[in-house]
Copies of this chain bind each other. A is one copy, B any other.
Amino acid sequence: MIVSDKQDFPVTQARRDLEPGPVVLLSCRHAGEHDIMTLGWHTILSFSPSLVGLMISGGNHSHRLIRASGVCGINVPSADLVDTVCRVGNTTGREIDKFSAFGLTAIEAERVDAPLIGECHVCFECRLHDDTLVAGYDFVGPVAVSYTCRVGDRKSVETRRATPYRDPG
């Protein structure tokens, strides 16, 4: 798995990486705890401000951390990370430290107090913008994307295919 230098790009282009509906990894931290979760239920909500909606079940350990901190990272894993993505999705941060358990690299966000995942080729730094639908539906959002970065040079990023969502169930 590759970890390279980050390069920023405009938040209004967040849609280019999120619209195809890839599986993403959410990263978060609060009060000394950090976690990662796999998420497939998300949608772009607005170009500018750059807003995204995240449907995070309340049963996830990350849900509590994101609610408490109000921030998170949205990380787009490439298809070669699919085994790791599945393992992250099939375990809970209540029992293990997913960064160390799965060999993922926590890199610091620029504008929010959350780790990002170095092995993911695109990362978005996000802040909870409106929690109206959290209580009734666990719909965490809209979250505002405040900063985006690509890990690695642009050419290598563009050849890395995102992990498509395909539910076998």
Contacts and interface: CB of A to CB of B under 8 A. Distances in A.
Contact of A43 (B55, B136, B167): B55
Interface in A25-64: 40-46, 51, 53, 55
A102 interface: no
Interface string A13-34: 0011001111000000000000
Nearest to A40: B19
A51 B137 contact: yes
Interface string A135-151: 01101001000000000
A160 B4 CA distance: 39
Nearest to A169: B16
Instruction: List the number of copies, as a whole number.
Output: 2
A42 to B, nearest CB: 6
8 contacts: A20-B165, A21-B165, A45-B55, A45-B139, A53-B53, A53-B55, A132-B132, A132-B133
B21 A167 contact: no
B40 A41 contact: no
Nearest to A44: B41
Given A19-B166, A20-B166, A53-B139, 19 more contacts: A16-B167, A19-B21, A19-B40, A19-B41, A20-B164, A21-B22, A41-B43, A41-B44, A41-B45, A42-B43, A43-B55, A45-B55, A45-B139, A53-B53, A130-B137, A132-B132, A133-B133, A137-B142, A139-B142
